[in-house]
Amino acid sequence: MPESKTIAEAALATGLTTHTLRYYEQIGLIDPVPRRGGQRVYGEAEMRFIHFVLKLRCTGMSMRDIQEYVRLRRLGETPESIRERGDLLARHATKLRAQLVDLTETIARLDEKIALYRSIYPDEPLPSPAEPPVAVAPAATPSNRRKHA
Amino acid sequence: MPESKTIAEAALATGLTTHTLRYYEQIGLIDPVPRRGGQRVYGEAEMRFIHFVLKLRCTGMSMRDIQEYVRLRRLGETPESIRERGDLLARHATKLRAQLVDLTETIARLDEKIALYRSIYPDEPLPSPAEPPVAVAPAATPSNRRKHA
DNA sequence: CTACGCCTTCGAGTGCGCTCTAAGTCAACA
DNA sequence: TGTTGACTTAGAGCGCACTCGAAGGCGTAG
């Protein structure tokens, strides 16, 4: 039994609710999950794909685009499907790259402003200086908890 | 006359609608704009601040936090106001940094997937390879056009 | 003087992405 | 056998961030 999960376990593992998992399946954001005795069984492949979808979601890909991607995936490994999927992801990657630029700029500007404020009333040792651009462990990203991400 | 704008001109310059500008003012997302004969006059300071707010918005700061920031700003240059504003921005910057990490990772993963797809059916010369992490001009970011950003 | 743009208030509507309840059924486990 | 958990469909409701329209009034440029 290679790590099969019930819907409740899958919910726990993804940080979603059972409601939301069924909802996602219903609107085609994820493929129909195989059933055993009518109940959904989430295998490793399913879990991996759900995590991928959540990654896309939380980087701002729209439901629509993800639905399209899933639709293409269901068409199988035809040249068209593969190429279109690649294009879809490439378009998203392009958007993300632009976002990255914007984000980097904004952080720099914020850091300036913050430094300004701090220089006026430097009370506590500055917790977020301008130098190290990245300092967060990439591990803990439980993504969507309930109540508006 | 140092570049004063009517609301319509301000709308044009920001890519918002007059509706949205008044709406932002109403909900306290921007300060009340000075009036002349009852009509709003957007000076350079106003325009600069609106652009800053839009920057915050489009990097995902919530309306609530921006409202709070504007509220603090209205309190003037007291130590509390200044410190709290700094903290607010610092918290946002921290979130952005985390986002940056996530984004960078996701782009890398997407590029892998894309390369995979392309390697199966390499038709057109790959327009988005994995190497150059940034290639977009930072200039053209008109931000919120109308119709759901 | 008149037309135009702006003002105000009010309220309805939109799209997204959930979130939850209800009602009734069914299967597996202890 | 009974409880638990999952299933279905259907539908209501919510928070966010707009978006638009209407109605009625007013100031200023041409």
B88-108 tens-digit pLDDT: 999 988 888 888 888 888 888
Can you give the pLDDT at residue A147?
33
**DSSP letter for each residue of B36-87:** ETTEE-B-HHHHHHHHHHHHHHHTT--HHHHHHHHHHHHT-S-HHHHHHHHH
The backbone torsions φ and ψ at residue A36, rounded to the nearest 5 degrees and listed phi first, read: -135, 115
Q: Which amino acid is at B89?
A: L
CB B89 within 8 A of CB A113: yes
Q: Smallest Cα–Cα separation from B132: which of A109, A79, A93?
A: A93
In this predicted structure, the answer to whether residue A131 has a pLDDT above a threshold of 70 is no
Alpha-carbon span B54 to B52, nearest angstrom: 5
Q: Which nucleotide is nearest to B62 (CA to C1')?
A: D16
Q: B52 versus B132: which is more confidently predicted?
A: B52
CA dihedral A96, A100, A106, A109 (to 10 degrees): -170
CB A49 within 8 A of CB A31: yes
As a CATH number, domain A7-90 is 1.10.1660.10
Q: Which two tokens stand for residue B33?
A: 């704009």
Cβ–Cβ contact A92 with B under 8 A: yes
CB A10 within 8 A of CB A42: yes
Distance from CA of A117 to the nearest CA of B (A): 6
Can you give the pLDDT at residue B117?
80
The residues pairing with A40 across neighbouring beta strands, listed in sequence order, are: A35
Q: List CB contacts (< 8 A) between B144 and chain A.
A: none
Can you give the pLDDT at residue B147?
34
CB A14 within 8 A of CB A50: yes
Alpha-carbon span A109 to A126, nearest angstrom: 16
State which residue has its Cα closest to the C1' atom of C18: A20
In this predicted structure, the answer to whether residue A96 has a pLDDT above a threshold of 70 is yes
Q: What digits encode the pLDDT tens for the residues B123-143? A: 654 444 443 343 333 333 333
Mean pLDDT of B33-38: 93
Q: In sequence order, which residues have a C-beta less than 8 Å from that of residue B63 and are 6 or more positions away?
A: B27, B29, B57
CB A126 within 8 A of CB B89: no
Question: Are B110 and A99 in contact (CB < 8 Å)?
Answer: no
Question: Are B127 and A90 in contact (CB < 8 Å)?
Answer: yes
Can you give the pLDDT at residue B118?
81
Alpha-carbon span A128 to B90, nearest angstrom: 7
Q: Smallest Cα–Cα separation from B5: which of B18, A11, B125?
A: B18
In this predicted structure, the answer to whether residue A118 has a pLDDT above a threshold of 90 is no
Tell me, in Å, how far CA of A139 is from C1' of C1? 72
For domain B7-120, give its CATH number from 1.20.1250.20, 1.10.1660.10, 1.10.3470.10, 1.20.58.740: 1.10.1660.10
Alpha-carbon span B80 to B85, nearest angstrom: 8
Mean pLDDT of B67-87: 92
- Residue B22 CB in 7 A reach of strand C: yes
Cβ–Cβ contact A105 with B under 8 A: yes
Give the other-Cβ count within 10 Å of A110's Cβ. Answer: 25
**Interface mutation target, options B75, B82, B99, chain A, most CBs of A under 10 Å:** B99
The backbone torsions φ and ψ at residue A60, rounded to the nearest 5 degrees and listed phi first, read: 95, 15
Alpha-carbon span B42 to A113, nearest angstrom: 23
